Structure 1
Amino acid sequence: MGAIQILGVLVLLIGILLIGVEFFMPGFGLPGIAGIICAMAGIFLTGQNASQRIVVGVITIVIIAVMLVSSIVIFSSKKIKSPIKLDTDLQGNNLFIDEKDMEYLIGKKGFAISDLRPAGKGEFDGVKLDVMSSNYYIKKDAALVITEVKNNRIIVEEEK
């Protein structure tokens, strides 16, 4: 085995390791991209001809598949906390605000803290809310009044 093949094996192992790291990190980032590049370079450097490169590539794919299945099995058990999956349960019967609970806002006065085109942000009694104007543009810092709550949206008009 020559120096190029040894280098190829090292690069291939680094690539497989980086792909394994990517299984434990959310998203697809630098370890995944670097792992794919290293694995491909390692496959190319390890094999002396096309048939050897195909065999090394198939073995690499099998190793990566076994690592993927193992990580899925490990994180499926409740013993180890997954860095990807949210395990916290939300408590309570009604986790959403009902439209009826927001009706007390009708008539409140405030001001626009962003332009409303037609949606934006407004501040009412020191509380910032996502609001929507009734079909027209309202400039920032304009005086607002809440006119209705419809489909969990707070509808405002410019105060006259």
Structure 2
Amino acid sequence: MVPQGIIISLIVLGVFFLALEVFVIPGFGVSGILGMGALITGIFLVTDSLLEGVLFTGGALVVLGIIAYLSFRSPRTRRLWRKFSLTTRQTLNGGYVGPKVQSETYLGRTGISLTQLRPAGTGNFDGEYLDVVTEGGFIGHGIGIKIVAVEGTRIVVREEKTL
């Protein structure tokens, strides 16, 4: 039989680590994992069998899920959750301009580097200025470049070799 002091210490330590994860260093993960491990260990040490431990742990997770769901729905706690979430939006009126979706249409186009590309800079492609990046090398100002890959909003160029 495990002494009661150790069980209580594990549960308190688990709650402490979870609070640390939520409020002090969110997203780091280590303290959250330690907290969950300490809580589950404390619950299993209280029970008499493995089945009871699984049932208690599952029941606790279900109750916590219901409490979390209801807290999002309740007008009183909704104000609390707003403090934790970002409510502002980036709009065109506010000056936000999203990346162009049609970046794949640039593949294979040639142009001239407007800045030194080491490895990032700007290129002129038929009067259209694009932010580009090289494959890793240096390309000087005014050198011919060709778009060889498009990876999302990242446009990759290499020096255009002329014969």
**TM-score normalised to the size of structure 2?**
0.52
1:111 corresponding residue in structure 2: 116
User: Cα deviations across residues 112-155 of structure 1 (Å, max 9, x unaligned)?
Assistant: 212xxxxxx1267xxxx4346xxxx6731534447689x97586
* Cα distance, 1:8 vs structure 2: 1.0
1:96 equivalent in alignment to 2:95? no
The runs of 5 or more residues in structure 2 that have no matched partner are 103-110, 124-130
Q: Are residues 96 and 54 of structure 1, via their aligned partners in 2, closer, same or farther at CA, if it must alter by over 3 Å? A: closer
- How many residues are matched? 138
Give the CA deviation at 1:33.
Answer: 0.5
What pairs up with 1:48-59 in 2 under 5 angstroms?
Answer: 49-50=48-49, 52-54=52-54, 56-59=56-59
Distance 1:32 1:64 in 2: 15
CA-atom RMSD in angstroms: 4.5
Residue 77 (structure 1) aligns with: 78
1:34 Cα deviation after fit? 0.8
Uncovered stretches (5+) of structure 1, i.e. residues with no partner: 100-105, 115-120
**Number of the residue aligned with 2:121:** 122
Q: Does 1:19 align with 2:18?
A: yes
Distance 1:123 1:91, change over 3 A: closer
Secondary structure at 1:60's aligned position in 2?
Answer: helix
Q: Percentage identity across aligned positions?
A: 18
User: 1:72 & 1:22 partners in 2: Cα distance?
Assistant: 20
Bigger relative contact order, structure 1 or 2 (CA pairs below 8 A, ≥6 apart)? 1
Q: Residue 112 of structure 1 contacts residue 140 of structure 1 at CA under 8 Å; is this kept in 2?
A: yes
- 8 Å Cα contact 2:2-2:45 kept in structure 1: no
Partner of residue 140, structure 2:
142
